[in-house]
Structure 1
């Protein structure tokens, strides 16, 4: 049996201090049927100097330097996929790294199961001091989901694929999904993985093989701290509901959880962000129902707090 070719896309922007570790962790994979495409989004640091050290490596298929910054992580993803020729694509973010058996593990899961369009392992969240800040664990070593089941169980409350570097996806499936994800700045990946998953099966490895560098300069940290993430998260849920991917009850559950999160955190956000999100919420026909559920939760929490105080 011919093993699948993996196109590895390394999109970089100003990550010179992490770039060598990233590229080396790709080139040193135990699974070697790979082609590597390096994209630099007009970096202002010394990234180019580091990248050029790899130009003549036999696994490097292409190196592309943008003349102007694209302004979008997801447009860079699209650019890389269009250059790829592999059966599967791995977006290996330039500030992350992985274990040597990352690809080998995911490929084993793909070849043992039919019609896998998305496969991923687990991530360690690492801070700039090199310490583990968060670990999300699964209660299995491996699991296979049908796409619709995966979306309903793993992609409504949150994006189960927290980091692009932890996943590989079928290149042909990519060409059969809408490119609306490229219009997002933060949550495009949540929509992207959901739409890809619907086209086949999803293989999940419970092994922690990816290291996700979580720092103040990354997109997710900036968006979460500003509250802008809620704007796009509500939008993703709207799209999944509009497209019939999730039903009304699933939509309301996901929307309620995001609504609750916004209300708990909104005192930390700028007024204009709060105003924008409030305007979005007011346009949702289900918001009265969601507000009632939230108020009931707040009342229950107040009662619990009161009882805890008087029972001390």
Structure 2
């Protein structure tokens, strides 16, 4: 690729996704917005991935093809490697098992250029299975509150977005749906999110939201592929995913000292409920409850408060819930 200035660096990290890889690369090359470079990364795949990547070596958009000799075991290591190579102002981590509509980048870049104070822009997704067929899952969970925006887009202060959205859950559920400022990423190097195994992406987006405003675009222009994941399965068996999530909530609460107490207790109670309902050995459950008390200073009372809010919310429209609090 000639040494010209590009606005967007598209990083495609891959590990053993040869069966999806060509569709992903073609969906990037088909974008209506064209001022981008593509950085192809492979984390020592054992399938036909490298052969597919090499098929694109002469494409004018490809600036790097980097093949690891050994697997790193961490998506964040690949992200950081790609960003070090990136020349663009904006970064799109286009996961190799996903795809996108041709207009995805055009909309994202236009929004980021319109609001230069924004650290990232997030666009909704259709969910597809391993065969590319649409499935009945909706991770966006937009309500009339989000869809009321006539422009199909909303912009939020980062601190507000954390308190009302990301504190409850990771609404940025798929990295492929986000385009972010490279300069904002540079500000969060050293964050503990990069050493987490299960929930690091949740903390990553919280850290990014602290760097500026957040843009949401209420249009499903991404295709998020749902298929089996042994990492998630192991996280549930060992309870490590829950423990990391509690660590993230604890960190967020320390940085938002004015958080309403009732909101904290609802969140804490939801963790207590989840731990009690997990199908794990008794010793692991006790370890998780000990972490719950240590990290959140939580108690059984929080569980009863969470249950009260959950059961009474349909009868009391003013009662706090995750959906009602969401911006």
TM-score, normalised relative to structure 1:
0.86
**Per-residue deviation, 1:183:** 0.4
| 1:170 and 2:181 are equivalent in the alignment | yes
Q: Please, which of 120, 131, 134 is the counterpart of residue 131 of structure 1?
A: 134
- The 1-side partners of 2:252 and 2:52 are apart by 41
Q: Residues 76 and 194 of structure 2 are in contact (CA less than 8 Å); yes or no, is this contact kept in structure 1? A: yes
The 5-angstrom pairing of residues 12-51 of structure 1 reads 12-51=14-53
Q: Residues 163 and 259 of structure 2 are in contact (CA less than 8 Å); yes or no, is this contact kept in structure 1? A: no
1:212-263 CA-to-partner distances (Å, cap 9, x unmatched) read: 1111137446535764321111111122223448747354443333332332
Rate the CA distance shift 1:72–1:27 in 2: closer, same or farther, 3 A. Answer: same
| 1:258 and 2:271 are equivalent in the alignment | yes
Give unmatched runs, 5+ long, in structure 2. 313-327
- The 1-side partners of 2:219 and 2:7 are apart by 22
Instruction: Give the match's secondary structure for 2:301.
Output: helix
Rate the CA distance shift 1:41–1:154 in 2: closer, same or farther, 3 A. Answer: same
The 5-angstrom pairing of residues 148-163 of structure 1 reads 148-163=159-174
Q: Please, which of 82, 91, 107 is the counterpart of residue 109 of structure 2?
A: 107
Q: Residues 127 and 223 of structure 2 are in contact (CA less than 8 Å); yes or no, is this contact kept in structure 1? A: yes
Q: Residues 237 and 251 of structure 1 are in contact (CA less than 8 Å); yes or no, is this contact kept in structure 2? A: no
Q: Please, which of 219, 242, 250 is the counterpart of residue 207 of structure 1?
A: 219
Q: Residues 253 and 259 of structure 2 are in contact (CA less than 8 Å); yes or no, is this contact kept in structure 1? A: yes
Q: Please, which of 237, 246, 250 is the counterpart of residue 238 of structure 1?
A: 250
1:81-110 CA-to-partner distances (Å, cap 9, x unmatched) read: 111111111111110111111111111212
- 1:308 is matched with none
- The 1-side partners of 2:237 and 2:273 are apart by 16
- The 2-side partners of 1:236 and 1:16 are apart by 33
Give unmatched runs, 5+ long, in structure 1. 304-312
Instruction: Give the match's secondary structure for 1:208.
Output: strand
- 2:320 is matched with none
**Per-residue deviation, 1:76:** 1.3
- The 2-side partners of 1:244 and 1:299 are apart by 24
Give the root-mean-square deviation of aligned CA atoms.
Answer: 2.5
- The 1-side partners of 2:249 and 2:208 are apart by 16
TM-score, normalised relative to structure 2:
0.83
Q: Residues 265 and 306 of structure 2 are in contact (CA less than 8 Å); yes or no, is this contact kept in structure 1? A: no
The 5-angstrom pairing of residues 1-312 of structure 1 reads 5-129=7-131, 130-135=133-138, 136-138=140-142, 139-140=146-147, 141-177=152-188, 178-217=190-229, 219-220=231-232, 223-224=235-236, 227-244=239-256, 247=259, 249=261, 250-263=263-276, 265-266=277-278, 268-271=279-282, 273-284=284-295, 286-288=297-299, 291-295=300-304
The total of aligned residue pairs comes to: 297
